[in-house]
Structure 1
Amino acid sequence: MNRANGGPLSFGIEPPGSTETAPLRLIEVLRPRMFDDCPICGDPATTQEHVPPQRLGGTRMTLTCAQCNNSLGTLLEADLVDWFDEAWSTSSFQSDAVPGRRQTSRLLRRWTSDGQFVLLPEGRCDPAVGEILAAGGDVTLEVSPPNQNRCRLALLKSMYLALCIKAGVPEGEPADRLRAELLAARDAKHKADVPVSPIALGLTVLRHWGDPITKESVVLAELQPKTGPVLGFLLAGRVFVSASSSWSEATVTPGRLVNQLQVGASVRGEVASVHPQPPPQARRRQA
């Protein structure tokens, strides 16, 4: 972005801060595999399932029943997409300059090379938000960050379906418990009612920044940290999810966050270019 007062403003999706890096060995590209019965609940499999979700770059890889496909998608995938896009949903701004709280549907978070943040409204935005920011001063920003539990459950579903595609539907107590946690999420009436999943929260999840490592939807892969190899799946060339879980009892992030901002004078400019971020050298950030 070229600023009218001089100098460009460049920003990208990768946030600043500590990262956990590890080599990743790709083992096998998985091909679609269809089942007569839903691998999650056992009902007749009647709908095509994207693994991972289509908005992450997944393709149709298997079949599930309509309820497991639609309900889990409705309840879980928005949080996964927000995490993947570095976005906040249902955000609002408030200040003394304009009466009341004014909403934006979604805010994309981006960062400059020196660690400053940039917020890009996506979708509908109350015109008064511009008035609030132009006035400057004290501004209250209230946002809904991605829910960690629902995001991890969406990844658990993709990992489990990838496992079924690779080796068939597993049997036994660990698989039964995994399916039980997915079904408990599927049967929740509202997002807020989705139960906490220790298995999902215990997954090892890392995100690759930059161009996808591969164009394939699902690849069997091995993460190779210093603590020892971790077998799992690379989803859409960007997200690694382990095939094992530490059965975590981690806490879940709160539903809303309130940020107090000090906004300076407005600066006008124009967008100069939009381009993919150059791929960094094997840098990944843990989810």
Structure 2
Amino acid sequence: MSVDRTGDVPLDFGIEPPGPTKTAPLRPIEVLRPRFFDRCPICGDPATTEEHVPPQRLGGTKMTRTCDRCNHGFGSLVEADLVDWFDGALTMPSFQSDAVRGKRQTSRLLMRWTPNGEFVLFPEGRSDPAVSEILAAGDVTLEVSPPDENRLRLALLKSMYLAVCIKAGIPEGEPADRVRAELLAVRNAKRRADVPVSAIARGLTVLRHWGDPIIEESVVLAEVQQETAPILGVLLAGRVFVSLSSTGGEAMPAPAGRLAHRLQVGAPVKGTVASVRPEPPPLQSRRNRPG
């Protein structure tokens, strides 16, 4: 997805394979300034900690205060998926080929596209030394865990809700109560697998900019012109647009789980970068793959 600022050049909204992109005018309306509450906007308990909006890993700054549980309880449960999605990352990767016995792991993989239409996988940190030997074999099976769409959208729902509070104060009424109930259900989940599916989060309009921030501010009230009508939302850290309204959303697809894919890999560069031929077949669920 790309977006045009009126009278400016197109801005790329996301990591995408080469090809046509959709464009929509983006109109910044108001830069939001920090606003600190005495009680947590999510649960109503005393607000004791300063909160980054959006999460700091996306470039957010301290914009408000929440309680300790609402501040820190979302990190590993949903915000990790948001960071992976934003970074274009695949987690828990394992490589396998006939050249080396067994599966070998790396840190999470960052996917990037080259101008000539190939994509490149970058292990972000340390890797099993045997991975270089596997990649050199050329014919590789890669298994990964992609970001979970429900969880990453719930993380964006939290940032959007806090942005509304910063702009207009803590809202009252049934719609706000529903949002708070869904956020509290996330906070109270014991583990990531227990995070409930959110129809509100599913119905948000989400656009992402890949590159330098559109605006060097944490939270900006903005409007995106879609095909039928403008959509009011917030631009987070100059990179992610989230609508203030939700359509309610269609049924959330089942989590993909582990995905397996056969790759024809080019020569690694210093054992850390592998270029891959373009237009690979779709990833398959491990549960449903042949054999």
Please indicate the TM-score interval, normalised by the length of the shorter structure.
0.7 to 0.9
Contact 1:48 1:63 (8 Å CA) reproduced:
yes
**What is the letter of the counterpart of residue 197 of structure 1?**
S
The reply on whether 1:222 has 2:235 as its aligned counterpart is no
> Could you state the TM-score of these two structures normalised by the residue count of structure 2?
0.84
1:48 aligned to 33, 50, 54, which one?
Answer: 50
Deviating beyond 2 angstroms after TM superposition, the runs of 4 or more aligned structure 1 residues are 12-20, 262-271
Distance in structure 1 (CA, Å) of the matches to 2:245 and 2:232: 8
Which residue of the partner structure matches residue 60 of structure 2? 58
Q: Name the structure, 1 or 2, with higher relative contact order (CA <8 Å, separation 6+).
A: 1
> Could you state the TM-score of these two structures normalised by the residue count of structure 1?
0.86
Distance in structure 2 (CA, Å) of the matches to 1:270 and 1:188: 37
Which residue of the partner structure matches residue 127 of structure 1? 129
1:67 aligned to 66, 69, 82, which one?
Answer: 69
What's the CA shift for 1:227?
1.0
Distance in structure 2 (CA, Å) of the matches to 1:81 and 1:175: 25
Which residue of the partner structure matches residue 145 of structure 1? 146
What's the CA shift for 1:18?
4.8
Aligned-residue RMSD, C-alpha: 1.9
Contact 2:84 2:90 (8 Å CA) reproduced:
yes
**Deviations 1:203-262, CA, capped at 9 Å, x for gaps:** 000112332111010001111112101111000011100000011123144121111112
Distance in structure 2 (CA, Å) of the matches to 1:105 and 1:268: 16
**What is the letter of the counterpart of residue 234 of structure 1?**
L
**What is the letter of the counterpart of residue 172 of structure 2?**
E
**Deviations 1:176-212, CA, capped at 9 Å, x for gaps:** 1111111111111111111111101110001123321
Distance in structure 1 (CA, Å) of the matches to 2:20 and 2:50: 38
Which residue of the partner structure matches residue 96 of structure 2? 94
**Deviations 1:112-152, CA, capped at 9 Å, x for gaps:** 11321100001121111111111223x11000111101110
Map 1:194-273; keep pairs closer than 5 Å.
194-248=195-249, 249-263=251-265
Which residue of the partner structure matches residue 87 of structure 2? 85
Which residue of the partner structure matches residue 19 of structure 1? 21
**What is the letter of the counterpart of residue 205 of structure 2?**
T
Distance in structure 2 (CA, Å) of the matches to 1:83 and 1:270: 21
**What is the letter of the counterpart of residue 83 of structure 1?**
W
Q: CA 1:264–1:216 in 2, change beyond 3 Å: closer, same or farther?
A: closer
Percent of residue pairs bearing the same amino acid type: 75
Which residue of the partner structure matches residue 7 of structure 2? none
Contact 1:223 1:229 (8 Å CA) reproduced:
yes
Contact 2:132 2:272 (8 Å CA) reproduced:
no
Q: CA 1:44–1:127 in 2, change beyond 3 Å: closer, same or farther?
A: same
Gaps of 5+ in 2: 1-13, 274-291
What's the CA shift for 1:264?
5.0
**Deviations 1:90-117, CA, capped at 9 Å, x for gaps:** 1110112111111112000011113211
**What is the letter of the counterpart of residue 57 of structure 1?**
G
1:36 aligned to 38, 41, 45, which one?
Answer: 38
Which residue of the partner structure matches residue 278 of structure 1? none
Secondary structure in 2 matching 1:78: helix
Distance in structure 2 (CA, Å) of the matches to 1:265 and 1:119: 12
Contact 1:149 1:252 (8 Å CA) reproduced:
no
Q: CA 1:194–1:263 in 2, change beyond 3 Å: closer, same or farther?
A: same
Which residue of the partner structure matches residue 111 of structure 1? 113
Secondary structure in 1 matching 2:108: strand
